[in-house]
Protein backbone atom coordinates (compact mmCIF):
# COMPACT_ATOMS: atom_id res chain seq x y z
CA UNK A 1 0.00 0.00 0.00
CA UNK A 2 1.24 3.48 -0.83
CA UNK A 3 1.94 4.80 2.65
CA UNK A 4 3.01 8.23 1.47
CA UNK A 5 -0.33 8.75 -0.25
CA UNK A 6 -2.59 7.81 2.67
CA UNK A 7 -1.85 10.88 4.87
CA UNK A 8 -2.67 13.12 1.93
CA UNK A 9 -5.98 11.33 1.31
CA UNK A 10 -6.88 11.36 5.02
CA UNK A 11 -6.17 15.09 5.26
CA UNK A 12 -8.23 15.84 2.14
CA UNK A 13 -11.22 13.86 3.42
CA UNK A 14 -11.04 15.13 7.00
CA UNK A 15 -11.14 18.78 5.97
CA UNK A 16 -14.77 18.18 5.00
CA UNK A 17 -15.67 18.10 8.71
CA UNK A 18 -14.05 21.38 9.76
CA UNK A 19 -17.47 23.12 9.74
CA UNK A 20 -18.88 20.39 11.99
CA UNK A 21 -16.55 21.13 14.91
CA UNK A 22 -13.47 19.66 16.56
CA UNK A 23 -15.01 16.32 17.49
CA UNK A 24 -16.24 15.59 13.97
CA UNK A 25 -12.94 16.61 12.42
CA UNK A 26 -10.73 14.57 14.74
CA UNK A 27 -13.10 11.61 14.65
CA UNK A 28 -12.84 11.56 10.86
CA UNK A 29 -9.04 11.82 10.97
CA UNK A 30 -8.78 8.95 13.41
CA UNK A 31 -11.31 6.75 11.64
CA UNK A 32 -10.05 7.27 8.11
CA UNK A 33 -6.39 7.26 9.07
CA UNK A 34 -6.36 4.03 11.06
CA UNK A 35 -9.30 1.93 9.90
CA UNK A 36 -7.96 -0.40 7.23
CA UNK A 37 -11.33 -1.20 5.65
CA UNK A 38 -11.48 2.29 4.15
CA UNK A 39 -8.03 1.83 2.66
CA UNK A 40 -8.76 -1.62 1.27
CA UNK A 41 -12.08 -0.75 -0.41
CA UNK A 42 -10.20 1.83 -2.48
CA UNK A 43 -6.98 -0.09 -3.07
CA UNK A 44 -8.86 -3.14 -4.33
CA UNK A 45 -11.69 -1.30 -6.10
CA UNK A 46 -14.44 -3.13 -4.20
CA UNK A 47 -17.31 -0.75 -5.03
CA UNK A 48 -19.01 -1.19 -8.43
CA UNK A 49 -20.19 1.58 -10.70
CA UNK A 50 -16.84 3.11 -11.51
CA UNK A 51 -17.69 3.89 -15.14
CA UNK A 52 -18.70 7.24 -16.68
CA UNK A 53 -22.23 6.98 -15.30
CA UNK A 54 -20.94 6.67 -11.73
CA UNK A 55 -22.32 4.60 -8.88
CA UNK A 56 -25.13 4.85 -6.35
CA UNK A 57 -24.01 3.79 -2.87
CA UNK A 58 -26.09 3.38 0.28
CA UNK A 59 -24.39 3.42 3.69
CA UNK A 60 -26.64 2.09 6.47
CA UNK A 61 -25.57 3.32 9.90
CA UNK A 62 -23.39 5.92 8.19
CA UNK A 63 -22.63 8.05 11.25
CA UNK A 64 -21.49 11.52 10.24
CA UNK A 65 -20.73 10.41 6.67
CA UNK A 66 -16.98 9.80 6.92
CA UNK A 67 -17.15 7.24 4.11
CA UNK A 68 -18.66 9.80 1.76
CA UNK A 69 -15.94 12.35 2.46
CA UNK A 70 -13.41 9.57 1.81
CA UNK A 71 -14.87 8.63 -1.58
CA UNK A 72 -15.21 12.23 -2.73
CA UNK A 73 -11.66 13.06 -1.65
CA UNK A 74 -10.41 10.03 -3.57
CA UNK A 75 -12.19 11.22 -6.69
CA UNK A 76 -10.71 14.71 -6.38
CA UNK A 77 -7.14 13.48 -5.95
CA UNK A 78 -7.50 11.05 -8.82
CA UNK A 79 -8.73 13.85 -11.07
CA UNK A 80 -5.66 15.87 -10.05
CA UNK A 81 -3.39 13.02 -11.13
CA UNK A 82 -2.48 12.12 -7.55
CA UNK A 83 -3.24 8.42 -7.30
CA UNK A 84 -1.09 5.37 -6.56
CA UNK A 85 -0.32 3.32 -9.66
CA UNK A 86 -0.89 0.07 -7.77
CA UNK A 87 -4.41 1.01 -6.60
CA UNK A 88 -7.59 0.41 -8.58
CA UNK A 89 -9.17 3.58 -10.01
CA UNK A 90 -11.48 5.12 -7.39
CA UNK A 91 -15.25 4.83 -7.71
CA UNK A 92 -17.12 7.70 -9.33
CA UNK A 93 -20.04 8.42 -6.97
CA UNK A 94 -23.18 9.63 -8.67
CA UNK A 95 -25.26 9.42 -5.50
CA UNK A 96 -24.15 8.87 -1.90
CA UNK A 97 -27.04 8.22 0.45
CA UNK A 98 -26.61 7.60 4.15
CA UNK A 99 -29.11 6.47 6.78
CA UNK A 100 -28.22 7.10 10.42
CA UNK A 101 -30.30 6.52 13.54
CA UNK A 102 -28.63 9.16 15.74
CA UNK A 103 -29.74 12.72 14.97
CA UNK A 104 -26.53 14.29 16.29
CA UNK A 105 -24.52 12.41 13.66
CA UNK A 106 -26.98 13.49 10.96
CA UNK A 107 -26.53 17.09 12.12
CA UNK A 108 -22.73 16.79 11.86
CA UNK A 109 -23.11 15.45 8.33
CA UNK A 110 -25.43 18.33 7.41
CA UNK A 111 -22.88 20.89 8.58
CA UNK A 112 -20.07 19.10 6.76
CA UNK A 113 -21.68 18.63 3.36
CA UNK A 114 -24.24 21.43 3.38
CA UNK A 115 -27.94 21.22 2.55
CA UNK A 116 -27.56 21.35 -1.24
CA UNK A 117 -24.70 18.96 -1.90
CA UNK A 118 -25.08 17.56 -5.43
CA UNK A 119 -24.10 14.00 -4.46
CA UNK A 120 -24.44 13.45 -0.70
CA UNK A 121 -27.65 13.01 1.26
CA UNK A 122 -27.65 11.83 4.89
CA UNK A 123 -31.01 11.25 6.55
CA UNK A 124 -32.18 10.21 9.98
CA UNK A 125 -33.76 6.78 9.88
CA UNK A 126 -33.73 3.15 10.97
CA UNK A 127 -32.22 0.63 8.57
CA UNK A 128 -34.87 -1.86 9.71
CA UNK A 129 -37.66 0.19 8.15
CA UNK A 130 -36.21 2.60 5.58
CA UNK A 131 -36.64 1.98 1.85
CA UNK A 132 -33.28 0.98 0.35
CA UNK A 133 -34.11 2.00 -3.20
CA UNK A 134 -31.98 0.45 -5.95
CA UNK A 135 -28.30 1.17 -5.24
CA UNK A 136 -25.27 -0.44 -6.84
CA UNK A 137 -23.68 -1.12 -3.45
CA UNK A 138 -24.84 -1.21 0.15
CA UNK A 139 -22.51 -0.92 3.12
CA UNK A 140 -23.00 -1.65 6.82
CA UNK A 141 -19.80 -1.23 8.81
CA UNK A 142 -19.77 -2.52 12.40
CA UNK A 143 -23.51 -2.12 12.99
CA UNK A 144 -25.38 -5.37 12.29
CA UNK A 145 -24.66 -6.81 15.74
CA UNK A 146 -26.76 -4.07 17.36
CA UNK A 147 -29.92 -5.69 15.98
CA UNK A 148 -31.72 -8.88 16.98
CA UNK A 149 -31.11 -12.00 14.93
CA UNK A 150 -34.53 -11.71 13.26
CA UNK A 151 -33.82 -8.07 12.40
CA UNK A 152 -30.42 -9.03 10.99
CA UNK A 153 -32.02 -11.64 8.75
CA UNK A 154 -34.72 -9.26 7.57
CA UNK A 155 -32.21 -6.51 6.74
CA UNK A 156 -29.92 -8.92 4.88
CA UNK A 157 -32.84 -10.30 2.87
CA UNK A 158 -33.95 -6.77 1.92
CA UNK A 159 -30.39 -5.86 0.92
CA UNK A 160 -30.25 -8.87 -1.37
CA UNK A 161 -33.59 -7.90 -2.93
CA UNK A 162 -32.45 -4.30 -3.50
CA UNK A 163 -29.14 -5.06 -5.25
CA UNK A 164 -28.89 -5.68 -8.99
CA UNK A 165 -26.80 -8.40 -10.65
CA UNK A 166 -23.19 -7.41 -10.08
CA UNK A 167 -24.17 -5.40 -6.99
CA UNK A 168 -22.06 -5.54 -3.83
CA UNK A 169 -22.90 -5.68 -0.15
CA UNK A 170 -19.82 -4.72 1.86
CA UNK A 171 -19.86 -5.21 5.60
CA UNK A 172 -17.58 -5.82 8.55
CA UNK A 173 -18.51 -8.09 11.41
CA UNK A 174 -16.90 -9.50 14.51
CA UNK A 175 -16.22 -13.24 14.61
CA UNK A 176 -17.79 -14.41 17.88
CA UNK A 177 -15.87 -17.66 17.57
CA UNK A 178 -12.47 -15.95 17.77
CA UNK A 179 -12.08 -16.16 21.57
CA UNK A 180 -10.06 -13.50 23.37
CA UNK A 181 -9.60 -11.24 20.35
CA UNK A 182 -13.37 -11.09 19.93
CA UNK A 183 -13.89 -10.18 23.59
CA UNK A 184 -11.36 -7.36 23.23
CA UNK A 185 -13.10 -6.19 20.07
CA UNK A 186 -16.46 -6.30 21.82
CA UNK A 187 -15.20 -4.22 24.74
CA UNK A 188 -13.70 -1.55 22.49
CA UNK A 189 -16.94 -1.43 20.51
CA UNK A 190 -18.91 -0.70 23.66
CA UNK A 191 -16.43 1.99 24.73
CA UNK A 192 -16.59 3.78 21.37
CA UNK A 193 -20.38 3.58 21.40
CA UNK A 194 -20.47 5.18 24.86
CA UNK A 195 -18.00 7.97 24.01
CA UNK A 196 -20.09 8.90 20.96
CA UNK A 197 -23.01 9.57 23.28
CA UNK A 198 -25.00 6.38 22.65
CA UNK A 199 -26.39 4.05 25.28
CA UNK A 200 -24.68 0.69 25.75
CA UNK A 201 -26.75 -1.80 23.76
CA UNK A 202 -27.22 -5.52 23.91
CA UNK A 203 -25.17 -7.11 21.15
CA UNK A 204 -26.33 -9.97 18.92
CA UNK A 205 -23.17 -11.68 17.81
CA UNK A 206 -22.42 -14.58 15.46
CA UNK A 207 -19.51 -16.72 14.42
CA UNK A 208 -17.98 -16.03 11.04
CA UNK A 209 -19.42 -19.32 9.75
CA UNK A 210 -22.92 -18.15 10.76
CA UNK A 211 -22.54 -14.86 8.93
CA UNK A 212 -21.23 -16.49 5.77
CA UNK A 213 -23.90 -19.20 5.82
CA UNK A 214 -26.69 -16.63 6.21
CA UNK A 215 -25.40 -14.62 3.27
CA UNK A 216 -24.84 -17.61 1.02
CA UNK A 217 -28.40 -18.79 1.63
CA UNK A 218 -29.51 -15.47 0.19
CA UNK A 219 -27.55 -16.11 -2.98
CA UNK A 220 -24.49 -13.95 -2.33
CA UNK A 221 -21.00 -14.98 -3.36
CA UNK A 222 -19.05 -14.23 -0.18
CA UNK A 223 -15.38 -13.37 0.19
CA UNK A 224 -13.92 -12.98 3.68
CA UNK A 225 -10.80 -11.13 4.78
CA UNK A 226 -9.52 -10.28 8.28
CA UNK A 227 -9.88 -6.54 8.75
CA UNK A 228 -8.41 -5.48 12.09
CA UNK A 229 -5.11 -4.02 10.92
CA UNK A 230 -2.56 -4.35 13.70
CA UNK A 231 -5.19 -4.31 16.43
CA UNK A 232 -5.90 -7.46 18.47
CA UNK A 233 -9.48 -7.63 17.19
CA UNK A 234 -11.62 -10.26 15.46
CA UNK A 235 -13.01 -8.05 12.69
CA UNK A 236 -13.67 -9.59 9.29
CA UNK A 237 -14.63 -7.84 6.06
CA UNK A 238 -17.29 -9.62 4.03
CA UNK A 239 -17.47 -8.76 0.34
CA UNK A 240 -20.82 -10.14 -0.82
CA UNK A 241 -21.51 -10.06 -4.55
CA UNK A 242 -24.71 -10.73 -6.46
CA UNK A 243 -23.85 -13.03 -9.38
CA UNK A 244 -23.93 -11.22 -12.73
CA UNK A 245 -26.25 -13.83 -14.24
CA UNK A 246 -28.82 -13.52 -11.49
CA UNK A 247 -32.22 -11.91 -11.95
CA UNK A 248 -32.94 -8.62 -10.11
CA UNK A 249 -34.76 -9.27 -6.83
CA UNK A 250 -34.10 -13.02 -7.04
CA UNK A 251 -33.60 -13.81 -3.34
CA UNK A 252 -35.26 -16.07 -0.76
CA UNK A 253 -38.01 -14.42 1.25
CA UNK A 254 -37.23 -13.62 4.88
CA UNK A 255 -39.90 -16.05 6.11
CA UNK A 256 -38.01 -19.01 4.63
CA UNK A 257 -35.01 -18.23 6.82
CA UNK A 258 -36.60 -17.80 10.23
CA UNK A 259 -35.80 -21.29 11.50
CA UNK A 260 -32.06 -20.70 11.13
CA UNK A 261 -30.55 -20.09 14.59
CA UNK A 262 -27.03 -18.69 15.08
CA UNK A 263 -24.75 -21.16 16.83
CA UNK A 264 -23.30 -18.47 19.11
CA UNK A 265 -26.20 -16.29 20.36
CA UNK A 266 -24.15 -14.15 22.74
Contact 234, 182 (CB under 8 A): yes
**60, 152 contact by CB (below 8 A):** no
Q: What is the pLDDT of residues 206-236, one digit of tens each?
A: 999 999 999 999 999 999 998 765 554 578 9
Spell out the domains of the chain, with CATH numbers in brackets. 126-266 (3.40.50.150)
E strand segments, the chain: 55-60, 93-100, 120-124, 137-141, 168-174, 221-226, 235-241
SS3 26: helix
Give the Å distances, CA to CA, from 256 to 106, 168, 252.
35, 23, 7
Give the residue-averaged pLDDT of 177-183.
55
Mean pLDDT of the chain: 85
Least confident window among 6-15, 52-61, 112-121: 52-61
Q: How far apart are CA 125 and CA 31, in angstroms?
A: 23
Higher pLDDT, 244 or 103: 103
Give the number of C-alpha atoms closer than 13 A to the C-alpha of residue 216, restricted to the C-beta side. Answer: 9
**CA nearest 118: which of 153, 193, 68?**
68
Taking a C-beta distance cutoff of 8 angstroms, is the pair 154, 128 a contact?
yes
3-state SS class at 177: coil
Q: Of 163, 173, 148, 166, which Cα lies nearest the Cα of 237?
A: 173
The model's confidence at residue 203, banded by pLDDT at 50, 70 and 90, is confident
160 within 8 A of 218, measured Cβ to Cβ: yes
pLDDT, tens only, 66-86: 999 999 999 999 999 999 999
Q: What CA–CA distance (Å, rounded) separates 28 from 168?
A: 24
Amino acid sequence: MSRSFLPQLVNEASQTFRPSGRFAYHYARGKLGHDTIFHEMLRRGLLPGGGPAGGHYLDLGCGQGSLFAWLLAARRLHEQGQWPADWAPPPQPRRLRGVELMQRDVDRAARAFGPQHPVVRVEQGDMNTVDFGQPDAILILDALHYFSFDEQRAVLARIRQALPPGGVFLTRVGDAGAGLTYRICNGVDRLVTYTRGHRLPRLYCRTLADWVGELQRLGFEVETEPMSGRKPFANVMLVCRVPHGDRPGNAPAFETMRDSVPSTPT
